[in-house]
Structure 1
Amino acid sequence: MRKSLGNGRASKSREIRTARRAVLWRRHEPMGTESFLLSSDEGGWHLEGQVVGMLDHKPAHVRYRIACDPAWRTLAAEISLDRVGAQRELHVTVRDGGSWWLEGEEDPRLRGCTDIDLEVSPSTNTIPIRRLNLTVGGEADVTAAWVRFPGLTVEPLHQRYTRTAANRYRYASGNFATDIDVDELGLVTRYEGGWSQEAAAQPDAP
């Protein structure tokens, strides 16, 4: 992966970034784990993760970095996939006006999408949860730029989030629905039928 997300707004304050929480998630079917770090700086929020698991019955290693502004609007993402020796990368930027660019080319299908959503990670549920900041009982419809694996293709996906309790959301998309429990930072602690948080810690200060 490249050293910079290539977005000045996302990287200008990198030297004073503060780690907020480190998390280990486990997925039971198909089996997988993710090591994740949430950090912030003057430019906004940063999500970084490494996912190890099975994709289409083959071992895979996914690495990603996502930058959001202080209001949790997606700015940029870098994703890499290593699957049985075959490597793929995807670079995403979101420009003023809401246009989404993949590998330097605009994808008009994604105009109007509000959040990036990685099929292989529970971390990206945090982005709309924090951005929407719903009250208990509130709900909102969003359209995410959904990154599929192993092809690293991107498509718009309509979703609904309903806050059913202080630490619980009902997520629905098409015929799929599930409950998501979160901590005080909006990070997933339990994704029904999918991921569970195995460990979490405040990283040590440098």
Structure 2
Amino acid sequence: MDFRDPPKAAAWQHMKARSGFEVVYFQHAPSGDGWRVHGCTTALEDGTTWIVDYEIELDTDWATRTAHISGRSAAGHRTTSILTDGSGHWQIDGVVSTHLDGCRDIDLESSAMTNALPVRRLRLADGDRADAPAAYVRAADLSVERLDQTYELVRDKAGQQRYEYAAPAFGFNCRLAYDSAGLVRDYPGIAIRVT
């Protein structure tokens, strides 16, 4: 599956699970061999408000290279820096994190955009299914854990890209709708793309 380049900007409205908004800007990496993604999410979830700002560097295949994340809530301000070698080995704030071995993507709990990373990186053919474990960053405290998940490309009757998504640790599965740039258009119960 080939994808077109992402737009310069995209935005999602978060709904049902939380109320909020995410705005993202895409640009080619200064080296010209990948992408830099800047984003910000603000939300109210279970009576708690938070803001998560992030900058993610991706290689040409959309595999994560680095992520710098900051978060604010009533509990205070936090930051974390995440680095991967591209072979599934990770460091969080300079500390080797073996519990993330084998992960190739970062997945921010606060973000609908990060569901584009495994889809673009895997480039599945119709009917293909793949495991896509990710370094999962919690919105409230920026803690990082492993999240095992799967994606399977299916097409609707109009030929639109849909992916059966499952995250067994949360007992969650749904059908995600994507656009031709590999960005989520509809994440049932979580977010919908507004631009």
TM-score class, shorter = 0.7 to 0.9
Q: TM-score, normalised by structure 2?
A: 0.88
Give the Cα–Cα distance (whole angstroms) in 2 for the partners of residues 94 and 28 of structure 1: 31
Percent of pairs with identical residues: 34
Deviation at 1:82, TM superposition (A): 1.0
The match for 1:173 among 167, 170, 173 is: 167
Deviation at 1:55, TM superposition (A): 4.2
Q: 2:24: which partner in 1?
A: 36
List per-residue Cα deviations over 1:125-177 (Å, max 9, x = no partner): 10000000011111111211111121211111111101111421110111210
CA contact (8 A) 1:55 1:150 kept: no
Q: 2:181: which partner in 1?
A: 185
**4+ aligned runs moved over 3 Å, structure 1:** none
Q: 2:14: which partner in 1?
A: 27
95-104 vs 30-39, greater mean Cα deviation = 95-104
CA contact (8 A) 2:177 2:184 kept: yes
Counterpart mapping for 1:127-142 below 5 A: 127-142=117-132
The reply to whether residue 124 of structure 1 matches residue 114 of structure 2 is: yes
Q: 1:68: which partner in 2?
A: 58
CA RMSD of aligned residues (A): 1.7
CA contact (8 A) 2:52 2:139 kept: no
Q: Secondary structure of 2:53's match?
A: strand
List per-residue Cα deviations over 1:75-97 (Å, max 9, x = no partner): 00011011136100010001254
Gapped regions of structure 2 (runs ≥ 5): none
The match for 1:46 among 32, 36, 39 is: 36
Amino acid at match of 2:19: M
